[in-house]
Structure 1
């Protein structure tokens, strides 16, 4: 997690730095619905490699957006869910979804 001095001066740049790649956005989209295990996330995000998913989940966890819970079972079960901070991104993702839907509908009618 960056310190306040390390964060960009622009709040939009801060947000983009935290969630600004397509993989993080798709991970957040899925975790908004419900907690997921690693394998479930990987299956629902076409094209993501195991390494990229692992790296992005670690980054989101370090930034306090995702919580990783390890259950003491055999075999061990790990679950990812949004933190309270991560859940505050709900309106951002919802706005992106609405904009994307509006764009898709507009593009289809102009083709």
Structure 2
């Protein structure tokens, strides 16, 4: 199993938070699952720009950290659905706040980036 070269500092809340949710896609994955999209195939279609491989890695990490749970249905074809755990539900207000801030900042960011070009 992969071992990090720099260990997690469990005394730093930001370090722990970044270990669990620090990626480009995890907030998007959690947001879509909270809206009821629970199957990987549907998540790929709902999240613009994510690949199947990246989604699988993000789901695996979120599950390993206890933010998501997984239900596997033994049917043909195999069906897998993800759900947000109680620990994961505590992140939803944070995700909503970041989404609100991002939407409010988007016009300013667009203007700044257009000036560069």
TM-score, length basis structure 2: 0.79
CA distance in 2, matches of 1:26, 1:63: 17
Runs of 4+ in structure 1 over 3 Å off:
none
Show the 5 A alignment for 1:50-61.
50-61=52-63
1:86 match: 88
CA distance in 2, matches of 1:89, 1:7: 20
Aligned residues of 2:25 and 2:58 also touching (Cα < 8 A): yes
1:3 match: none
1:69 match: 71
Match of 1:27 among 13, 26, 29: 29
CA distance in 1, matches of 2:101, 2:13: 21
Q: What's the secondary structure of 1:81's corresponding residue? A: strand
Does 1 or 2 have the higher relative contact order (CA < 8 Å, sep 6+)?
1
**Structure 1: gaps (5+ residues):** 1-5
Please tell me the root mean square deviation across aligned C-alpha atoms, in Å. 1.9
The count of aligned residue pairs is 104
Aligned residues of 2:37 and 2:43 also touching (Cα < 8 A): no
CA distance in 2, matches of 1:25, 1:11: 18
Report deviation, 1:44: 1.1
